[in-house]
A = this chain, B = another copy of it.
Amino acid sequence: MTGSLTVIGLGPGDPRWLTPAATAALDAATDLVGYGPYVGRVAERAGLVRHASDNRVELDRARHALDLAAAGRAVAVVSGGDPGVFAMAAAVFEALEDARPEWASVDIRVEPGITAVLAAAAKLGAPLGGDFAVMSLSDNLKPWDVVTRRLEAALAADFVVALYNPISKARPWQLGEALKLAGRHRAADAPVAFARAIGRADEAIRVLPLAEAEMAATTADMATLVLIGASGTRTVGGADGRRFLYTPRSVGRMP
C-alpha cells in the first residue's frame, strides 16, 4: 500500500489567502508534518495525526514524511507562504536523493501558496513592478560571501531585492550589513520596506529611507520581509493620506 506526500503552502497566515487546492489537499491528509506554528494553523479533526517539529530539522522531517507516505499514509507537509521558496519542498527532494527503495512509489506533489514577497508587495502597492530578486539572507546554508556577492550583483543590476530570513537571534548583524551594502548602490533616500507578519493580527508595515532603515535593522525579526527598492521605486499618494510604494514598469537606459 503506497501513500502520498503533498508539500503544501499555507500562505502568509490570512486564511483568505489559502488556495482551495491547498485546502483540498489538507482535507485529504491523514498526517500533518511541519514546523509547529504551521501545523498549528491547520484545524484539528478526527483522523488527522499531527507531527509538529521544531524549525531546525528540515531533512529529518522530510524523511519522516516520506516514511509515513511509504507506509500508506496521505501526508501533508506544511510550510508558511509557498513551500518552494525557502521552505520544505527542496528539503523533500534532497531527502529523496537517498533513493530508499520503500520511497520509490510515493506519489509526491507540491501545492503552491502566496509567498511573503507577493503578500507584502500587495499591501505596499506594486513594488515588484520591475524585475526583482528574491534571496534568503541566512548564512546557515550558504557562506556569507555568497550572500553579499548575490546581493551586490542584484543591486548593481538595479533589481528590486526581497530579503527573506533577514535576522534572527543567532544572526543579528547580517541585515545591517546588507543595508549598508545597499547604500553603495542606492541613494540614501531610496525606499526600503519592512513588512512584518503580513496578513496576521500583528501585521506591521514600515517604509523607510535606506539610511534610516540601516539604523533600524535590528528592529526587524524573522517574521519580517525586507524589500529594497530599485532606483526607480517611488511612492504615490492615495486616499486618506496613504502612500503606495511602486516600481514603474518602464526603465530608461542604465547609467
Interface residues of A (CB under 8 A from B): 2, 7, 9, 11, 14-21, 24, 58, 82-86, 89-94, 96-97, 99, 104-108, 110-115, 118-119, 121-123, 125-136, 141-143, 145-146, 149-150, 152-154, 156-159, 236-240, 244, 246-254
Contact = CB atoms under 8 A, between A and B. Distances in A.
Contacts of A85: 118, 128
Secondary structure dominating the interface of A: mixed
Contacts of A96: 236-238, 244
Contacts of A150: 131, 157-159
Contact of A249 (B15, B19, B94, B154): B94
Pairs A-B, 4 closest by C-beta atoms:
A90-B129, A153-B157, A89-B126, A142-B251
Given A156-B153, A236-B97, A248-B94, A131 B136 contact: yes
A90 B142 contact: no
A132 B134 contact: yes
Nearest to A152: B157
Contacts of A112: 17, 114, 118-119, 121-122
A75 to B, nearest CB: 14
A97 B244 CA distance: 11
B143 A251 contact: yes
A51 to B, nearest CB: 20
B106 A238 contact: yes
A105 B246 contact: no
Contacts of A129: 84, 86, 89-90, 93
Nearest to A14: B21
A51 B111 CA distance: 32
Contacts of A133: 131-134, 154, 159
Contact of A123 (B86, B110, B247, B251): B110
Given A122-B84, A129-B84, A247 B90 contact: yes
